[in-house]
Structure 1
């Protein structure tokens, strides 16, 4: 028995298939979230908690476009190849509408390449490498967090005021560390042509030989140090440096160190007086932040970390883009993210159309100890929009503009 297409369509209409389609369309909007949960738990546990808080709040308020948000989480274990495999599975088997996440820069770059090749929106929450939005930027990739360039520029603003002329550097030997060092050196030399760099140490990520690293830096007799290590590498570096007196009489400028997930670990070993980027969660009293902090504390009986802010605002960005697009259509969502603006716990931000980098800023201050805990003092917020290159400069850095 044969049936032509017209008869088939007429029959399905009579059977009420449009109602079935509408019912399916009313299902949840699905987000596929990929991250290094087992590799970087200090940052990503609070990240996921705040992600789930944001999703819960949005759904309680009626969802987006009249539909609930639903997230399918995947753990890449810090491996780019696993992240790409998860992305393909989420897109094909799980039928997610949006792919998001990423912590390590090499993982984020792998996901961005997947997004570009498959023409799928990727909302990068955390990877900091500048290549993500510049040299390897593409139409389908957007980043929330301030990049290595932005944070280096914020720190250089303070480093240039120091009397130090001889600098040493320590950074993890992968994309994030190399990018941070590149921009710090370039921007500091532009601000202070009298500066020289007398030593550089690039230990493997997560495997720093802290004693040897400290010894090599000490041998160069720098007047100041730029540190880019984080997590367990930072703790080991600080411990060895404190033991061997590396930081005595030397100024240290340090990226990420002021984030609670790392200050909590340092505790009573926190060096005092370092110039740092971070998040002074206990002292930040803006209405937007208090509302976020109180909701997080109420749900988890704990204070938020910077990962919490990143997870929460990634979901808020996705919800804002969905609302602006009025659709889950991939290309419409990409268009919606270009120029998208919304208010975060740190204040209003936007995703720049030219390079897909958000203008979320960071806090710059100094490290200190209070009651045996590491804290951030003398801090101020640096608006990310003020620490990004001009459109003309971006056109030189990014082969695909917009």
Structure 2
């Protein structure tokens, strides 16, 4: 029985097979792209993320679109619910007839949409979800991931933590896929670099329901030399406040995954901890030509400085543009084949590509230390860590994926 998705694919095949007959009628028809994210659940990140992809979309269309056709993004809010995300994905594919889907933030939603993509044979570019499973243990042919993964960012921080004198470590992370992946990756990479380290305490607060007092007391009781923090958002703010009141961070090395991102650092205000080793984004301090052009366009359009989400959204649309320009058609199989090894030659964070072996992009991250800069939360002593330097080889990564 021919489904709506099948009918759409058949029509697309006819149009590709008869480009001259179709070109006059369809030259200006938009290429529809689906987008899903947790806009009402994770506003601090998804608002700048949306502003990033909207800016890139405007620039692409102002320059003539792709092949003379403008891009149209149909954007939907998943409300932070995996079942809602799957329903939306189905509507985007079978009702709106999008060529592909991109987006999502939370790891559980990214994994749900990834499974939908596999079952329905549609390309999904996971912009943000950080769980390693999305490209490794639960990876599939139809899913590629943009953002540097949990493993990559944990490896970046482990490299810096190994340079310190800390031997006894404690960890605190939310109790879901992202948090468990983050702790496992940090432990593995740090032990590889510094075999004498030991982990003496773990805290696993429920996401967005942290009991900061109990967590801080448990960490302090273990007397670690270093603390690895994976909390973010409101949980981070509570942890920082309670830990500072109890002097938990004094004379200790503290490493924070994502803590340097403006979305999570700015709300700390005067409570910003000094000297935490973090992944994040130094914002306007990045002075490469590509970033300065992006920064100017973003500030001119939105009247505010870009955040980490802005970069992710912008680079998501640059990926879509590069893909559509390189693919021989809008057929899913052509799009998927083109994603393997796809290069995005210019972006605010520099060039990157998508690895064929595990579908992970090589977009990197900024590593530095937290501080108050001119009275405002920021990063100092930062550097850009290329993503490809913190991934297992493609041969090793391929072994982490299920057989297809």
Counterpart Cα distance in 2 of 1:83 and 1:23: 34
Counterpart Cα distance in 1 of 2:382 and 2:102: 30
Aligned to 1:66: 68
Q: 1:103-142 maps to which residues of 2 (within 5 A)?
A: 103-142=105-144
Shift of 1:276: 0.3
Counterpart Cα distance in 1 of 2:295 and 2:22: 42
Q: Which of 387, 392, 396 matches 1:384?
A: 387
Counterpart Cα distance in 1 of 2:230 and 2:72: 35
Question: SS where residue 351 of structure 2 aligns?
Answer: strand
Q: Segments of 4+ in structure 1 off by > 4 A?
A: 18-22
1:250 paired with 2:252, answer yes
1:332 paired with 2:334, answer yes
Shift of 1:396: 2.1
Aligned to 1:292: 294
Aligned to 1:93: 95
Q: Which of 80, 84, 109 matches 2:86?
A: 84
User: Any idea what the Cα deviations from partners look like across 1:359-400, whole Å, max 9, x if unmatched?
Assistant: 000111100012332110000111101111012311321124
Q: 1:247-396 maps to which residues of 2 (within 5 A)?
A: 247-342=249-344, 343-396=346-399
Counterpart Cα distance in 2 of 1:125 and 1:335: 19
Shift of 1:243: 1.2
1:399 paired with 2:397, answer no
Counterpart Cα distance in 1 of 2:25 and 2:269: 53
Shift of 1:71: 0.8
Q: Which of 234, 244, 253 matches 1:232?
A: 234
Q: 1:195-214 maps to which residues of 2 (within 5 A)?
A: 195-214=197-216
Counterpart Cα distance in 1 of 2:82 and 2:24: 38
Counterpart Cα distance in 1 of 2:28 and 2:336: 22
Counterpart Cα distance in 2 of 1:117 and 1:177: 27
Q: Structure 1 length normalisation: TM-score?
A: 0.93
Shift of 1:239: 0.9
Aligned to 1:152: 154
Unaligned runs of 5+ residues in structure 2 are: 1-19
> Is the contact between residue 373 and residue 379 of structure 2 (CA under 8 Å) also seen in structure 1?
no
User: Any idea what the Cα deviations from partners look like across 1:312-344, whole Å, max 9, x if unmatched?
Assistant: 010010110000004222111111111011121
> Is the contact between residue 27 and residue 68 of structure 2 (CA under 8 Å) also seen in structure 1?
no
Shift of 1:279: 0.8
Counterpart Cα distance in 2 of 1:360 and 1:50: 16
Q: Are residues 280 and 249 of structure 1, via their aligned partners in 2, closer, same or farther at CA, if it must alter by over 3 Å? A: same
> Is the contact between residue 353 and residue 363 of structure 2 (CA under 8 Å) also seen in structure 1?
yes
> Is the contact between residue 27 and residue 68 of structure 1 (CA under 8 Å) also seen in structure 2?
yes
